[in-house]
Amino acid sequence: MIRSEDGFFGQFGGRYVPEILLPALIELEELFADLRDDDGFWREYLLLAQQFSGRPTPLTPCPGLTRQLGGARIWLKREDLNHSGAHKVNNVLGQGLLVQRMGKRRVIAETGAGQHGLATAIMAARLGLDCTIYMGADDIERQYSNVFWMRQLGAEVVPVSTGARTLKEAMDEALRDWAASSDDTHYVLGTACGPAPFPELVTYFQSVIGLELKDQCQEEFGRYPDEIVACVGGGSNAMGVFAPFLDLPEVRLTGVEAGGTGPRPGAHSVRLSAYGDQQDAAETGIAQGFKTLFLQSRDGQLGATHSVAAGLDYVGVSPIVAHLTETLRLTPAYATDQEVLKAFQLLMRTEGIIPALESSHALAGGFKRAAELDKSQHLVINLSGRGDKDIFKIARAFPQPEWREFLDRELARQSNEKEGSTDVA
Ligand SMILES: *Cc1c(COP(=O)(O)O)cnc(C)c1O
C-alpha cells in the first residue's frame, strides 16, 4: 500500500495551508497514524460499511460484453451498489468514525455536483452529527435534487454567491468556516486530494474496494487480474481499487480521464495524458493546499475544465495519482464525451446495468483495452457509481419523442396538485 514521506509522494502532495489550519490537520494526521494499523478500527469500519452500505460489493462477470468485444474477460467491481449509489460513501463513513474518535460533533464539506455533499449528509444523519454543506449558487440551481435530499436529511446547505459561484468558491468558504470552527468541527474532504493527510487517509478508506477485489479474483479465477481500469476525477475510486495492487507489477493499472469535447483549453479535464496539442497542458503547481498537476494557462492561472460527467470535471488530481503516473506505475488514458455515451449505452443494452457517466469513462477506456487483450486474460473495470442521477443528461443525448411531453405533463400535474394541496406539513 501507499505511504507518504512527510505528506509527499515523490514531488507531489504536502500541506500548503494557512497557519491557523495546521493544528487541525496535525491532530487528524496523528489520529490516523495511530489507527491505520489498528485491526480493531478497520473491523469497526468494515462492520459499518457492511451493515449500512451493503459491502462487500459484488464482482460481476460480463459474458455478453466479453463476447461482443472479443478480447479479455470483463468483470465489473460494483461500487454502484453502495448506499447512495457510489463509492464516495466509503470515505465519508470512515471519516465519520474519525470524527467520533476526536469527540467533535459537527462536519462541514464543500460539494460541486452534490454527490459528496449528499454522502456527507447521509453519514452525519446516521452518526448524529451536525452538518453544513457549502455549494456554489450556480451548482445549487443545476443540481437541485441533491440539495433537496441534503436538506431533508437535516443538513444545512449554504449557497456561495461569490466569484464564479461554483466549487472553488464553495471550497474557500468551507475553509473559512473550518479556520474558525476546527475545535469542534471536522472538514470532510471528498477525494484523494488536498493537504496531507487527506490524500493518504481517503485512499486508506477507499482501499476497501481493492482489498475485496483481491479476494474476489482469487475466488473467481484463482489469480489477480491482468488489468484494472478506473476513472480519475480527484482520484479516490482509482486509488481505492489500485492501492492493494501497487506491489504487483504484473497487474496493469489504467486511469481514465475526461477527454470532454476535445483538446481545446476549457473543453476537457485531461491532466495526466498528452492530449492533442493542447495549449493548457497540466503542470506542477501549488493550489488548494497541495502540490500536484493542475491544468493551467500559460500565465499560471488555473484553467477551465469540462466533462459530461460532473465528478470528473476537476482542474487538479490526487498527488498520489500524479506520482504513480510520473513513475510509470499507472497508465493514463482518456475518453471523450462521445465515447463515454457510447460505452454507457453498450453496458446498459448488453448487461442491464445503468452506470454513472463518470464510471462510463472507465468503461470506454476498459472496452478499448479489453479488445486489445487475449481471451485468456482478465480485465476488471471499477464501476464507481450508478447512473440514475444522470437521467437529464442521458435524455438529452438519447432523446425519446415522449420525453418532452412527459416533462410538460409532470409540470402541469404538479401545479394542479399545488392548488388542491396534498403537501405533508
Ligand atoms: C465523484 C465521482 C467520481 C470521481 O471522483 P474520484 O475521487 O476520482 O473517484 C467518479 N465516479 C462517481 C460515480 C462519482 O460520484
272-295, pLDDT tens digit by residue?
Answer: 999 977 666 799 999 999 999 999
With the C-alpha atoms ordered 91, 94, 98, 104, is the resulting torsion angle positive or negative?
Answer: positive
Q: Ligand 1, atom 10: nearest CA belongs to which residue?
A: 358
Average pLDDT, the chain: 94
Name the H helices within 265-401.
319-326, 337-351, 357-372, 391-397
Nearest atom (ligand 1) to Cα of 386: 13
Q: What is the pTM of this model?
A: 0.95
* Percent share of the chain, pLDDT over 70: 97
DSSP state of 351: H
Any atom of ligand 1 within 6 Å of the Cβ of 383 = no
Q: What is the pLDDT of residue 405?
A: 86
pLDDT number for residue 168? 85
CA of 228 to the centre of ligand 1 (A): 16
Domains of the chain by range and CATH? 8-52+87-202 (3.40.50.1100), 55-84+206-391 (3.40.50.1100)
Cβ of residue 387 lying under 6 Å from some atom of ligand 1: no
Residue 191's nearest CA partner among 178, 176, 206 is 206
Return the ligand 1 atom nearest residue 79 CA.
13
- Cβ of 206 less than 6 Å from ligand 1: no
Residue 423 in this model has a pLDDT that exceeds 70: no
pLDDT in tens, 163-214: 888 888 898 999 999 999 999 999 999 999 999 999 999 999 999 999 999 9
**Ligand 1 proximity of 57 Cβ (cutoff 6 Å):** no
Residue 186 annotated among the catalytic residues of the structure: no
CA distance linking residue 278 with residue 262, whole number of Å: 9
Which pLDDT score is estimated for 279? 60
Q: Ligand 1: which of 347, 363, 384, 388 to mutate, judged by most atoms within 8 Å of the beta carbon?
A: 384
Q: Is the CB of 366 under 6 A from ligand 1?
A: no
Query: Is 312's pLDDT higher than 60?
Result: yes
Question: pLDDT band for position 416 (50/70/90)?
Answer: confident
> Can you give the pLDDT at residue 425?
45
Say whether 361 is catalytic: no
Residue 332, pLDDT > 70, answer yes
Report the length, in residues, of the chain: 425
